[in-house]
Amino acid sequence: MIALIDCNSFYASCEQVFRPDLKGKPVVVLSNNDGCVIAANSEAKALTDIPMFEPVFKIKDQLLNNGVTFFSSNYTLYGEMSDRVMRILQEFSPLVEIYSIDESFIDLSGMECQDLRAYGIAIRDRIMRYTGLPVGVGIAPTKVLAKLANRRAKKEEGNDHVFVIDSEEKRIDTLHWAKIKDVWGIGRKHTKRIQDTGKYSAFDFTQLPLSWVRKHMTVVGERTWRELQGENCLPLEHSPKPKKAIGTAKSFGKKLKKLSLIEEACSYYINEVSEVLRSQDCCAKYLKIFLETNYHSEHDRQYYNSITVTLEVPTNNTFILNTEGKKALHQIFKPGYRYKKVGVCLSGIVPKEYVQTNLFASTYEKVGLMEAFDRINQKFGKTTLAPALMDTRKINQWELIKEERSPRYTTQWKEVLCVK
């Protein structure tokens, strides 16, 4: 058996943990740049029908009139709260697959004879007691069924956020209960295609011939179909796989026309992604830089361009990547546009001990330089050392807007909650 543990309205719940005055009140969390709603707690969802990813400016009045509290996203806080939850889960199973910031699959094989519902309740209660975060627990023989069980745990009254599929009757019953779009792995496009054949429940989907599923939804759809019948096709991952691509691209706080400021942001992102790359002991062969204007805006002239640089020798050196990135950016930058976003993406990622060197390469790396660079930044703070191109004093000229960010309660001494 597999359990899926998922935090309820995770970002909003994290904010509420440190603001007990907001208990039982509507809370929403906004995306970067305070652009869209990305999380809303049940009170906020109940109050108004808040569509996720709706631009905030369109619904701000509606939210304010209903006394909803807003937060800008505070990923430092959410990431650290997530670590706490995942550590607790390790007390319940030797195998925990962290699937995302707010959910994990855990292996319960060998425990089938136990009272799994009681076990699920114990997980739910311990996480609440240790972190203050509410979670839902779904337990079933496969991942896709565990996802459905988790959904039912939360949505159906009387389950107290724990639901177990441990018999054929419960499996069939849950498949009838679930709509097609509730199935993990079936998104908007496939839902529509399936509904066009006159099928509406997850059960109906399992009655479609496999040949149809295979033809229209490839092998990915076939796995989902099989998992719903109780056949395991998606094994738990024992260890996190190294990333195949590492990228970052954020909208500027305001539209930028000047190349020099875009350069700053670009070097900042390169610094960030190369640090992630080094943390997994890898090097990258390709560096992609892209630049874009605001495609939502009708009156602005539009421009998008990207360039992928093939590095002579795969590297994770911030300085080499910065030099290459700057050259690439100069090639695609065209004056006269109001730019909204610059992005960088590293790919062709290989473990650093397998890097294929090049006899004629002109780059020369100082051994140990980046290790020292990272250690100093870990000890004294994120940008204690940075390439000169990245002028941290100018950051406010392009950085994202986060007007309502809560304190970083758990990671900054100066921001620790004070109890009187």
Tokens of 106: 């855990």
For residue 182 the two structure tokens come to 């509730």
Interaction of residue 197 with DNA, rule CB under 7 A: no
Using the rule CB under 7 A, which residue among 43, 97, 103, 107 binds DNA?
103
Q: Is 13 near DNA (CB under 7 A)? A: no
Residue 316 engages DNA in binding (rule: CB under 7 A): no
- Does 248 bind DNA (CB under 7 A)? Our answer is yes
* 109 dihedral zone (left: phi>0; alpha: psi -120 to 50; beta): beta
Minimum CB–partner distance for residue 244 and DNA (Å): 4
Q: In what order do the strands lie in the sheet with 37-40?
A: 37-40, 27-30, 69-72
Shorter beta-carbon distance to DNA: residue 161 or 372: 161
User: From the list 186, 256, 266, 370, which residue makes contact with DNA (rule: CB under 7 A)?
Assistant: 186
Task: Work out which of 13, 175, 341, 406 binds DNA, going by CB under 7 A.
Answer: 341
Gap between the Cα atoms of 69 and 71, Å rounded: 7
Q: Is 146 exposed, middle or buried (0-12, 13-18, 19+ CB in 10 A)?
A: buried
| Closer Cβ to DNA, 241 or 420, answer by number | 241
SS3 category, 257: coil
Provide the minimum distance between the beta carbon of 144 and DNA in the complex, in angstroms, as a whole number.
10
Residue 184 binds DNA (CB under 7 A): yes
Pick from 230, 238, 49: which is nearest to 148 by CA?
230
Chain-centroid distance of CA 380 in Å reads: 27
Query: How many whole angstroms separate alpha carbon 186 and alpha carbon 236?
Result: 20
Residue 355 touches DNA, criterion: CB under 7 A: no
According to DSSP, the residues that pair with 357 across neighbouring strands are none
| Residue placing its CB nearer to DNA in the complex, 111 or 313 | 313
Per the CB < 8 A criterion, the answer to whether 48 and 379 are in contact is: no
Residue with the two structure tokens 């209960």: 177
- Cα separations (Å) of 38 from 35, 68, 101, 149, 314? 9, 14, 14, 24, 36
Q: CB 417 → DNA: shortest distance, Å?
A: 26
How far apart are CB 416 and DNA at their closest, in Å? 27
Type of residue found at 121: I
Per rule CB under 7 A, is residue 247 in the interface with DNA? yes
Q: Is 345 an interacting residue with respect to DNA (CB under 7 A)?
A: yes
- What is d(CA 37, CA 70) in angstroms, rounded to the nearest whole number? 9
Strand-pairing partners, residue 293, are 339
Instruction: In angstroms, give the least distance from the CB of 243 to DNA.
Output: 4
Of the residues 47, 95, 234, 249, which one makes contact with DNA according to CB under 7 A: 249
> Which candidate, 279, 249, 271, places its Cα nearest to that of 344?
249
- Told to check if 93 binds DNA by CB under 7 A, we report no
Cβ-contact 39, 58 below 8 angstroms: no
Rounded least distance, CB 225 to DNA, Å: 13
Closer residue to DNA, CB minimum distance, 35 or 132: 35
218 touches DNA (CB under 7 A): yes
Ranges within 140-159 binding DNA (CB under 7 A)? 147
| Sign of the dihedral through C-alpha 188, 190, 192, 198 | negative
Provide, rounded to whole angstroms, the least separation between the CB of residue 251 and DNA. 4
Find the binder of DNA among 67, 79, 187, 351 (CB under 7 A).
187
Selected binder of DNA within 208, 307, 309, 400 (CB under 7 A): 400
Contact 292, 339 (CB under 8 A): yes
The number of C-alpha atoms within 13 Å of 324 and in the hemisphere containing its C-beta is: 29
Q: Which of 66, 90, 100, 331 binds DNA (CB under 7 A)?
A: 100
31 is an interface residue for DNA by CB under 7 A: yes
State which residue, 101 or 111, has the beta carbon closest to DNA. Answer: 101
Residue 244 binds DNA, judged by CB under 7 A = yes
Q: Does residue 293 touch DNA according to CB under 7 A?
A: no
Closest separation between CB of residue 3 and DNA, Å?
15
The reply to whether 33 sits near DNA by the rule CB under 7 A is yes
Chain residues that interact with DNA, rule: CB under 7 A = 31-33, 35-36, 38, 53, 55, 57, 99-103, 147, 183-191, 218-220, 241, 243-251, 255, 276, 294, 296-297, 308, 340-341, 343, 345, 400
